Structure 1
């Protein structure tokens, strides 16, 4: 394991020196909190990362799912509260800009080398 590297890892990164860094920050947090034995043993990313257990739906995955639910509730409230299409579009664009700016700040505007690497194994 390449100490201090929390990126996605895999065989393709840094001449395979980071191949055991599967999951990046999410894998690190899951192993720290849940331990190695409570993590999915046969992840779909095993072929790419050539590594051991990793759970793409771990603790940080649940937090992002909760954020998506909250954004859905906000969208529903906008649709129920505002009748004019211009008011709805304004609020949707405002929320989109806010989430986009937060996302850029968290990943530093880069794909994998920011504060929080973009490495979620999508469903």
Structure 2
């Protein structure tokens, strides 16, 4: 049942995964270089400016992608097993692209984690 769903909707599933991973990587890159917004990361929403809203969004994405880092390998393995009968090189290449994007999202999670630790160290020094 799951195999048929994955094979039938492969393009849609692939596109959704690519958009999610790429959007997270781009948002992380933007946020990583937005130093003033780091003060709001993983804090309660008490100020309503653009940087606080962006930090709140990145905090939620950080939590979501920490969970995704543990769950996605299982989903990826299910996709590989479902498509193993398909001998198309395009699908193999797309699975490789998804794996690279997954690794990029793990790097993004660690980048956000270092922001959180840097803020904790800065707060202790003040």
TM tier, smaller = 0.3 to 0.5
Structure with bigger helix share is: 2
Q: TM-score when scaled to structure 1?
A: 0.36
Identify which of structures 1 and 2 has the higher relative contact order when contacts are C-alpha pairs closer than 8 Å and 6+ apart: 2
